[in-house]
Structure 1
């Protein structure tokens, strides 16, 4: 993927600069206008086609997929009255999740997590949400299916979301992202269970690679998801006229979900560290078994080597050298010594 290496170092504050990877070739603008009776979903070619937005009875949701075309985000910010610092935060995809309250809107920045087939097990992208009285703007790095179930409910079902305000729509967007956390963690949990079964059977090198891969994934997940606890808690506590009491009931339930996500992440993190310790223990046990086997073999052959070395000396006067039964007697002594050690090892339960 292409990546912009530009930074805002040296630029004045409120300068909109995209920081992060370019994850889509074309920016997609989708507008949704709905109320309890009607809904209109359309793809727009320009931001100006989505307005007028504010001060209308219907709820407007504008979703933008792709952040590298800075002028689009900047134009939306000017038309909707979004603070330039918020626009700057939207374009910076490398910062931590956050929440800001302004006079006429609430800004939330949070991670969207999906599974990948690459070396890193999870992909973490940024989702920015701007919620006003009658509108919600969402900004994603690229198009995905995360919001597809919500769009389906809006279009085909006159559910609670069609009767509630913009605050409930913002809650629904955050909730569906948090629900996706559970799906990702469940899949990674299956991988942890699979590695756990393998590590108890063998200490193959690829198992250690899988453990490290999972550990990196859960560390990145925890770093991304942990701030969500404070963000949702702030949404519940904040006395803002933009968030009604009916929606706060659902936000409290969402807070419980975030707590559960963090608790599950902590549990799996402890399990993975435990798997690493089990792997090292199994590896040491296997090594000890090998050393034990080699030690027993060496112990058996030490007296045999001693006997053969004595009779391998080139002295002229060795009484047994010309004895008729000398060869067979020495072989018998060597065999008896080997059997004696084997019997001793069995009595001590070493073999």
Structure 2
């Protein structure tokens, strides 16, 4: 399905069918490598230059539940025309940004620069959302650490790893566009590509920073759990220690040997006093040492 928007220089095609992409590749006389990339719909940002067209493969990120979903957007940049191929409707904001430009100043390279800038900016709201959620998780984990929170942290860490791979491939593509590697991309718009590259680089650094923060949050969780476990073990050990002399005295007093003078009333009283006094003295000592 084709949508006409600035149809003399911009041709927008919405399709998911490989057959439609093959027809387009044949119509535009794309070389074999570009045709295969166009049909295969690779999930990797890249740029491939031919004689008449510069193919730019982009991935628009979107987080759905636990996974990062990539929406493919392919640009075919020619000397006088640009073709965009994608699944689903093209984001309306891209058309709005293009339409705000003066009609006389629009060129295929300028439209490509606008789309590249829009693609890079799509990472920011996703990272902001992940950052806000992880901040909330860190606050609650300090008070009441739960396994569900750890699973969420691992989920966001995996999402950041997926986003990092996409950003790295996008940076490679933008680096080639900004360095004059491709003749079909006009030199005067290399500054736009360089600005998008800087934005992508900052995004990459932010992703690495957030991954480090998530790792720190997981370490903090393990530390809190370990400290609480140590506290529980300490209390159980103290309780066991308190009952050790009681067990010893009752065991000693309960032995059935006539040689032991525990049939005497005085010995019975002494045993009972020790059973009561010794645990109390041990509890007082533990409190004095701040072990309890």
TM-score above 0.5: yes
Residue equivalent to 1:341: 282
- Counterpart of 1:61 in structure 2 is 11
C-alpha distance in 2, partners of 1:250/1:345? 70
Is 1:252 the counterpart of 2:194? The answer is yes
Tell me whether 1:290 sits opposite 2:235 in the alignment: no
CA distance 1:161–1:113, change in 2 (3 Å): farther
1:263 to 174, 181, 205: 205
Summarize deviations over 1:30-55 as a string: whole Å, max 9, x none. 23225xxxxxxxxxxxxxxxxxxxxx
Task: Give ranges in structure 1 of 5+ residues lacking alignment.
Answer: 1-27, 35-57
Distance 1:228 1:129 in 2: 14
**SS in structure 1 of the partner of residue 79 of structure 2:** coil
Q: Is residue 41 of structure 2 the alignment partner of residue 104 of structure 1?
A: no
Q: Answer yes or no: is 1:168 the counterpart of 2:113.
A: no
Are the structure 2 counterparts of residues 162 and 201 from structure 1 closer, same or farther at C-alpha, using a change threshold of 3 Å?
Answer: farther
Match of 2:74 among 128, 133, 137: 128
Task: Give the 5 Å matches for 1:321-340.
Answer: 321-323=263-265, 327-340=268-281
C-alpha separation between the residues in 2 aligned to 1:309 and 1:109?
81
Contact 2:97–2:114 at 8 Å: present in 1 too?
no
Q: In 2, are the aligned partners of 1:93 and 1:125 still within 8 Å (CA)?
A: no
Three-state SS of the structure 2 residue aligned to 1:123 is strand
Q: 2:195 and 2:118 mapped to 1: Cα distance?
A: 13
- Which residue of 2 is the match for residue 137 of structure 1? 83
- 1:29 corresponding residue in structure 2: 2
Cα distance, 1:96–1:310 mapped onto 2, change above 3 Å: same
Mean Cα displacement is larger for which, 294-303 or 269-278?
A: 269-278
> Any idea what SS the aligned residue of 1:127 has?
strand
Structure 1 residue 167 displacement after superposition: 0.5
1:73 equivalent in alignment to 2:14: no
Larger proportion of helix: 2
- Partner Cα separation in structure 2 for residue 327 and residue 211 of structure 1: 61
Asked if 2 retains the 8 angstrom alpha-carbon contact of 1:59 and 1:165, the reply is yes
Task: Report the Cα offset of residue 165 of structure 1.
Answer: 0.5
The reply on whether 1:149 has 2:89 as its aligned counterpart is no
**TM-score, normalised on structure 1?**
0.76
In the TM superposition, what whole-angstrom CA distance separates every residue of 1:102-135 from its partner, at most 9, and x where no partner exists? 2222111122110102x32x21233221111222
Aligned-residue offset at 1:326: 5.2
**Cα separation, 2, equivalents of 1:71 and 1:205:** 47
Taking a change above 3 Å as real, the CA distance of residues 93 and 240 of structure 1, as seen in their structure-2 partners, is: closer
In the TM superposition, 1:184-203 aligns within 5 A as 184-203=126-145
Q: Could you tell me how far 1:282 is from its partner in structure 2? A: 1.7
Local SS of the residue matching 2:6: strand
Taking the aligned partners of 1:125 and 1:220, their CA distance within structure 2 comes to 13
Aligned equivalents of 1:207, 1:332: Cα separation in 2: 51
Match of residue 82, structure 1, among 11, 25, 30: 30
- In the alignment, what sits opposite 1:280? 222
Instruction: Find the aligned partners of 1:266 and 1:206 in 2 and give their Cα distance.
Output: 24
1:114 corresponding residue in structure 2: 62
CA distance in 2, matches of 1:82, 1:220: 31
Number of residue pairs matched by the alignment: 292
How far apart are the structure 2 equivalents of 1:240 and 1:97?
16
More RCO (CA 8 Å, sep 6+): 2
Q: Matches of 1:336 and 1:125 in 2, distance apart?
A: 75
Q: TM-score scaled to structure 2, two decimals?
A: 0.91
Alpha carbons of structure 1 residues 336 and 62: separation in structure 2 relative to 1, 3 Å = same
- Would the alpha carbon gap of residues 285 and 162 (structure 1) be closer, same or farther in structure 2, given more than 3 Å must change? farther
The runs of at least 4 aligned residues of structure 1 exceeding 6 Å deviation read none
Q: Which runs of 5+ in 2 are unaligned?
A: none
